[in-house]
Structure 1
């Protein structure tokens, strides 16, 4: 545990989910591979274009509607729709195909087990203070067994603009009815989590399980209040 500034009494915690409570990288790789396979199998015309073409489609739809960057599920839906329309599908055909694919992605997205070590930390913390989840992703916390630990879950899109925007952080403060500084946000990302939390008035904990050196990180915008390499350290922090 490393402190960058003096940390006052913590009365609640907010948590990022992906890459903080579990390693999301292999999950996303699996989901993307299976989603691509499904699309190519059920709609073979999609395989006529390269991955770079589909990435360009994704950028194009976001340029037309910048809000989509705040909602990863809707962004995927609109990207598949638009791409298939460009390949000759009718609007109705494209919408149905995109909806079917998104349904599959959401199912695959939450088909994994959260490490017991994370569950143990959340269990201990939730018995001493309220916890709120703040995520830019679309995981279903009920399906992965996290709902019992959180008093509230805030998701980008449905609950406001994506982190590092202040909207969801402010909603968490309003829900908790506590001084923002007494709420510690825990997350792995130096911009969306650390910078976003600090500019919203919360205290920030950088979860650095990759052994990065903060002064060497190009994404460093704001120093966290504290850095931990293991989630278990949060229990020790709470017991100060």
Structure 2
């Protein structure tokens, strides 16, 4: 654990989910591969798209509608709709395929188990602090058994603009009923989590399980208050 500012006790915590409580990269890689197989079975022409083409279609839909930025589910829906149209489906067919594809993906991206060590830490923290989750992702916390640990799970899109925008942090502060500077936000992303938290007046904990040097990170525009490499280190802050 490394402190960048003098530590003062906090009265509440907020948590990022993806790549903080579990390795989301592995989960997404698997879900996307299963989605590609599902799409190819539904529309064989989909199998002809390579990775570069999928990335280009993602960039195209974002360029066409900047309001999609930060809303990962709607970006994927628009991307699949565009891909379906390139395969010759009409507007109605393309939309239906995209909607079904998104539903399939959302099921698979939540088809995993959160590490028991992370669950154990969160249960212990929940006994000391009120907790709120703040995520830019679309994981199903009910399926993962995470919902009981939090007063509420706030998701970019339904609950406000994506981090680092202040919207979700402000909503979390309102739910917690605590001063911003007495709330610690924990997350792995230096821009979305650390910068977002600091701009909202929260204190920030950088979860750096890969032990990356802070000074070498391109998103390190604002210092966190504390850096940890294991979630269990948070328990030391509650002692």
TM-score category (smaller protein): over 0.9
| 1:137 aligned onto 2:137 | yes
| 1:181 aligned onto 2:188 | no
Query: What's 2:75 paired with?
Result: 75
| 1:32 aligned onto 2:46 | no
Q: TM-score, normalised by structure 1?
A: 0.97
Deviation (angstroms), 1:222: 0.7
Contact 2:62–2:68, Cα closer than 8 Å, also in 1: yes
Distance 2:99 2:43 in 1: 13
Deviation (angstroms), 1:59: 1.1
Query: What's 1:5 paired with?
Result: 5
Deviation (angstroms), 1:51: 2.3
Deviation (angstroms), 1:87: 2.6
Distance 2:20 2:65 in 1: 29
Deviation (angstroms), 1:49: 2.8
Deviation (angstroms), 1:211: 1.1
CA RMSD in angstroms, aligned pairs only: 1.0
Deviation (angstroms), 1:7: 2.4
Query: What's 2:214 paired with?
Result: 214
- Bigger mean CA deviation after superposition, 49-58 or 87-96: 49-58
Deviation (angstroms), 1:67: 1.7
Structure 1, residues 137-170: CA drift from partner, whole Å, max 9, x if none? 0000010110110001110111111111111011
Query: What's 2:61 paired with?
Result: 61
Query: What's 1:96 paired with?
Result: 96
Equivalent pairs, count: 239
| 1:233 aligned onto 2:208 | no
Query: What's 1:200 paired with?
Result: 200
Distance 1:69 1:218 in 2: 20
Structure 1 runs not aligned, ≥5 long: none
Q: TM-score, normalised by structure 2?
A: 0.97
| 1:86 aligned onto 2:93 | no
Distance 1:205 1:212 in 2: 14
Distance 2:217 2:85 in 1: 41
Distance 2:231 2:134 in 1: 17
Distance 2:101 2:110 in 1: 15
Structure 1, residues 115-144: CA drift from partner, whole Å, max 9, x if none? 111111110111111000000000000101
Deviation (angstroms), 1:19: 0.5
- Bigger mean CA deviation after superposition, 70-79 or 42-51: 42-51
Query: What's 1:154 paired with?
Result: 154
